[in-house]
Amino acid sequence: MASQEQNTRQGNKKGFRAWLQKLLAGIPLIGWISGLFAAVLIEYFLGDLISYYLGLPKIPVLFGFLTVLKKPLLMPGTIGYLILVYGLPILLIAKSLRKPANKLAAFLDKGPVSVGAVIHLGLFYGAMHFWTDLSDYRLLVLKLTMIAIMLTLSINVINGYMGEFSCSHPGFMALGAYGASTITLLLFANDKLFGDALLPEALGLYFFPLALIAGGLIAALGALIIAIPSFRTRGDYLAIISLAFLFIVKSLIENLEFIGGPRGMSSQPNYSNLPMVFIVMVLCIWIINNFVRSTMGKALNAVRDNELAAEVMTVNTRKTKIIAFMFGAFWAGVAGGLFAHVLRYVNPGSFGIQRLAEILAMVYFGGLNSVTGSIVGAVSISILSEALRPLEIYKWIIIPLLLILVMLFRPTGLIAFTEFNPKELMKPKKKRIEEQ
């Protein structure tokens, strides 16, 4: 009965939107990912050829944004390229693979979530591998985007789920970056600062996760400085305490000569390759998602909504606050460690107020209290800030304007207060019309 009603309602919908909905209905996530994979393969093997015939000088690196903004005359060619290489193949493959993909999704749905997730992520990683193989710029943008996702998620634990306004995230990131860099430079690299490597360099890549964890732990220890005052105060005063923490960390690093002082640290070994960043990011999303859906995550929301009531309801608010701060800081530190090894250069200047504005923009753009929102916010702001690069400084007028508009019309961000459920995402999708 309900489906009947739904059908009539869908039947009443007219025009382009209904057509589009009908066109895209019934394709599970794995179908889309295989479409993406095929599109990326087409670009990998035929990209040069297609762009040559469309009159483009080379393959549009970042979905053609850069090309079009630099040379507007190439717009038709770029749009044609996007449709030929991405639009059509994704749609066709996803559409034609609908039945087997649904069967596979239904099969995976029966098994544990982790198996399905590994298969989806593996396919997605394959697509990204070929996509980034074409240009180093893409690789860099993708890595930085993934790091941004981790940062945004970890600040969402504090600012979104616990509802504080913490300004210290670049500080945690700096602690992690310097911690991890110190370990790798000291042990595995010959550099100016610490001299020769203490351990064989071949071991480096295996110890790198440990270095990341150590960086994260240092950041988590630093978070205690903010967590302890947060017992007595919150809101604006805590914002200032965290801001003071940021200034202190930055200034302290500038003054410590043995880690480079204001000149920073350079020539970190190239350990942050794509698989490493990808795996760490997936782990981060998985753990944070489980964390915020656990009892502890609910306790965070309780502390945010009413601290006194939470305390009465047997929530240990002090423990909750300490854990949330340390947990968020830990992942910020890990992201900082990755960041240092992606750029292979850090200086205290990269962890200032500008970085804070960027991270805050991502989390409030995407949406508070939502893992999906964090991912959306981080990806859209990082891709946008790369794509608008040819506009030079006008970029920094357009992005803030966009954020102001989002804040005016959706004050909690684009996708706020939603739960991220991988099982739901990977479920097979049935076409509604076939249900009859």
Give the footprint of other proteins on this chain (CB under 8 A).
159, 163-165, 225, 228-229, 232-237, 239-241, 243-245, 247-248, 250-252, 254-255, 304-307, 353, 357, 360-361, 364, 368, 393-394, 396-397, 400-401, 403-404, 407-408, 411-412
The residues, ordered by sequence, that sit 6+ positions from 150 with a Cβ below 8 Å of its Cβ are 280, 281, 284, 331, 332, 334, 335, 338
- Tell which residue, 430, 414, 346, 419, has the closest CA to residue 376: 414
Nearer to other proteins, 56 or 416 (CB): 416
- Which of 114/233 has CB closer to other proteins? 233
Residue with smaller CB distance to other proteins, 56 or 360: 360
CB of 98 to other proteins, least distance (A): 41
Which residue lies nearer to other proteins by CB, 163 or 390? Answer: 163
Contacts of 144 by beta carbon, 8 Å cutoff, 6+ apart: 339, 342, 382
For the four alpha carbons of 392, 398, 400 and 402, in that order, the dihedral sign comes to negative
Q: How far apart are CA 157 and CA 24, in angstroms?
A: 34
For residue 107, the minimal CB distance to other proteins (Å) is: 42
CB of 369 to other proteins, least distance (A): 8
Least distance from C-beta 387 to other proteins, angstroms?
A: 17
The answer to whether the CB of 369 falls within 8 A of the CB of 152 is: no
Q: How far is the CB of 429 from other proteins (least distance, A)?
A: 34
Q: How far is Cα 387 from Cα 62, in angstroms, rounded to an integer?
A: 7
Whole-number Cα distances in Å, 240 to 31, 173, 230, 356? 48, 18, 11, 13
Kindly tell me which of 94 and 368 has the beta carbon lying closer to other proteins: 368
Report the alpha-carbon distance of residue 361 to residue 358 in Å, rounded: 5
Determine the Cα–Cα distance for residues 114 and 132; give it in Å rounded to an integer.
26
User: Could you tell me the maximum CA-CA distance found in the chain, to the nearest angstrom?
Assistant: 75
CB of 362 to other proteins, least distance (A): 11
In terms of CB distance, is 250 or 341 closer to other proteins? Answer: 250
Q: Which is nearer to other proteins, 14 or 232 (CB)?
A: 232
Least Å distance, CB 339 to other proteins, is 22
Cα torsion angle, 269, 274, 276, 282, sign: positive
